[in-house]
Amino acid sequence: MRVLVSGAAGSLGRVITVGLAELGHDVVGLDLVPAPEGTPFTWHEADCADPDAVAAVFAEERLDAVVHLAGVPDEVSLPDELTSHVVTTAALLDAMVAHRVPRIVYASSNHAVGRTPRADGGLTEHALPRADTYYGVAKVAAEALLRLFVDRHGIDAVSCRIGSFLEEPTSLRALSTWLSHGDGVRMVEAALTTPAPGYAVLYGISANTRAWWDLEPGRRLGYEPRDDAEQFADRIEPRPDDEAEAEFVGGPFVLAQHYRPA
């Protein structure tokens, strides 16, 4: 598959591009910044929030799928969140429809449902939107946009509600929410290749012993995680926020330090 990866220079993008290339995909990177030195695949330096810039990339490339990883990973103002997650997704979707690119895999987040109390039990793909931040609100809106395009245009879209994508877990919460680098690649590969998903949601975590979220929606799409954060458990130092971070799905994003004016 020839796959356009937005946010190719980001923390997810740096790992996913290499992993997809190793699996035999023809990767095309897209990012605001130039290609890191030695990048072995095609690269476009463009802002995905600019529909003309995105259209120009699609006019130049023959693509089979898009993996949309670009976006601010933290809490910023509401307009900036909407630009970063919703306007970019819309620009890519419009270009996909115009160029008949049939599939998009989206880096959504657990923060789309982050305000769900953990006491409510294991989260399934049917959890209602319940954002914990403007970041989460923007992820909810981007997911809604993907679904609209699936319904209107018959494309396939998989929203991956990612947990904590890290080399290794660094907090008690992350023992439950960790997504290893290897499983991140396996997750995107499954979402790219599962037959005819229509619109689907999965939780992007590893096979963690202490997992908070349901792995079944991912397994139904062919995502079989192999790693388990438990192997790092004895390295995790207790922190004062551990208890508060375990109350809601979104952990630290629920805490008052993330409240800000829109």
What are the residue numbers of the active site?
A: 135
The 10 Å Cβ neighbour count of residue 211 is 21
CA dihedral (192, 182, 85, 139) in degrees, to 10, reads 90
Note whether 171 binds ligand 15L by CB under 6 A. no
* Nearest CB to ligand 15L, comparing residues 66 and 205: 205
Q: According to CB under 6 A, which residues from 18 to 57 bind ligand 15L? A: none
Q: How far is the CB of 162 from ligand 15L (least distance, A)?
A: 6
Residue 63 near residue 2, CB atoms below 8 Å: yes
| Position among 17, 83, 88, 109 found at the interface with ligand 15L (CB under 6 A) | 109
Note whether 208 binds ligand 15L by CB under 6 A. no
Note whether 164 binds ligand 15L by CB under 6 A. yes
Residue type, 229: A
Tell me the residue length of the chain.
262
Residue type, 156: D
Determine the interface stretch with ligand 15L among 61-69, 105-113, 192-200, 236-244 (rule: CB under 6 A).
105-113
| Position among 44, 103, 111, 130 found at the interface with ligand 15L (CB under 6 A) | 111
How far out from the chain centre does Cα 180 lie? 13
Residue 246 near residue 218, CB atoms below 8 Å: no
Q: Under the rule (CB under 6 A), what is the footprint of ligand 15L? A: 73-74, 109-111, 162-164, 177, 251
